[in-house]
A and B are shown apart, each in its own frame.
Chain A
């Protein structure tokens, strides 16, 4: 029972306008000339002046930290989560439910709760691994678990991994070879989707960084928001746009699969 075209466009139109409005308000805000009511390009061009690197040093540190954290977090997903999921899928089918349960826990135990217990854990981590920013990625690896799990699992379920790996065994390939040449190429979409969504989650993360007193993109944005709201909103817009493009490309990857298997 599909809606008529008129109904569809009335609903989408109203909701669309309401939801686009704050985004357009952000864009408009970045061109404001103070409280004068006029508009100016100064806030955008100001980013390219010589002083910018010094004025917005903290913000650029935050961006750098967030990018580093995104890379390390994706590394954790690929090195720790992915092999475990493949192993469980192939060798321990009974543990599948357990693994799923573990990966969903971070939804039930949200960041604001986890951070209460992470504080003492990190006082140990700092002693062992030092206080550099990348260690925060250990916590982010947990935060992205539900998203990364879902992306990879959807791919695992869609491909007959067991037959593929048995075919590999029959052809006398060792496990490393099967993993690298047979399984991973078939999991490329799931792995890419998991990586992209992890990057998006890490770039948007605020709770843990803020309460463990680390600087990342979001904490830097909030800090600069009180002194230079224009620049804060410019970078918020760019970050939202970046996450949007990342997720759009996940959709594109998924679509390539659908059309690919039809032909």
Chain B
């Protein structure tokens, strides 16, 4: 592509030669000006990020410390430790942890199954794209998918009931409760694991397998002594990313859960919409702060593990 453009560039030489830095020595003032212009080039992005990322983030974290009329309070932060909120954080934690573990294990199995398939082949292209869609853009639509698939009127549920007398909703329709979130979240956790873990698994070098064989190792020793230690940081890193993904996910839960606010993001919604949770103003800010604390810890762990991973991927 550069070659195709070369004639254009050459033709520009004649007209532009007056500005050439070699033919015309730059005066210091002009250089300073250019340096300034260079920095000015960073300004639009900086301004944009400050207004729409930095300010909202700071506002989200800080509002919890203030009352509606602007005076400082610790009452909202204290609210984080009320039993109701602690229970919400606990169920958010468990939903995220359980779906992350299931997602990581099943996802890693799929990655293993994909070893040896051609990276650009039809199978891989299909799985890559489908995984991205399900992992990152599903939201509300995944809730719909599961209402259609295992809702109380779905073919599967009716068929189980008619053919086997098995009523999976005998104890109540759990799909619209936290138990339902486990099922739907797992559905987007597995694809996320495939996207994040496959590159690491492909980083295993065939020489290591050969070295293992040369030294008299078995398939078993290869996996326990070589592959697992090499893959462990990446696997647990991906596990943390999955946890963070479920912990911060809102759309699916908002579309699915019909009653109450069993997880933190829904509690934030309740606080934003009604303005009074636990009879406190600005509780949304305190909840957001609580979430950010968890997310920062998890993502910090992720980046530490990621640093260890990249050592092997050279």
Contact = CB atoms under 8 A, between A and B. Distances in A.
B268 A26 contact: no
A172 to B, nearest CB: 5
Q: Per DSSP, are chain B's interface residues mostly helix, strand or loop, or mixed?
A: helix
Q: Per DSSP, are chain A's interface residues mostly helix, strand or loop, or mixed?
A: helix
Given A83-B41, A181-B8, A211-B269, A25 B155 contact: yes
A248 B129 contact: yes
A200 B291 contact: no
Interface residues of A, number: 98
A146 to B, nearest CB: 10
Contacts, number: 281
A206 B250 contact: yes
Contact of A173 (B16, B112, B114, B296): B16
B86 interface: no
A237 B140 CA distance: 11
Given A114-B60, A255-B120, A239 B141 contact: yes
A109 B148 contact: no
Given A84-B45, A185-B2, A210-B254, A112 B291 contact: yes
Interface in A203-229: 203-207, 210-211, 218, 221-222, 225, 229
Contacts of B114: 8, 12
Contacts of A169: 21
Contact of A1 (B41, B57, B140, B209): B209
B272 interface: yes
Contacts of B141: 204, 218, 221, 236-237, 239-240
A203 B137 contact: yes
Contacts of A210: 251, 254
Interface in B3-59: 4-5, 8-10, 12-13, 16-17, 19-21, 38, 41-42, 44-45, 48-49, 51-53, 55-59
Interface of B: 1-2, 4-5, 8-10, 12-13, 16-17, 19-21, 38, 41-42, 44-45, 48-49, 51-53, 55-61, 63, 106, 109-110, 112-117, 120, 125-126, 128-130, 132-134, 136-142, 144-150, 153-156, 187, 190-191, 204, 209, 219, 222-223, 227, 244, 248-251, 254-255, 265, 268-269, 272, 284-285, 288, 291-292, 295-296, 299
5 contacts: A25-B156, A91-B38, A114-B57, A174-B19, A206-B250
Given A197-B132, A207-B250, A248-B126, 18 more contacts: A8-B116, A22-B148, A29-B148, A83-B44, A84-B41, A108-B292, A112-B269, A116-B63, A117-B59, A118-B52, A119-B272, A142-B49, A182-B2, A204-B141, A218-B141, A229-B144, A233-B144, A237-B141
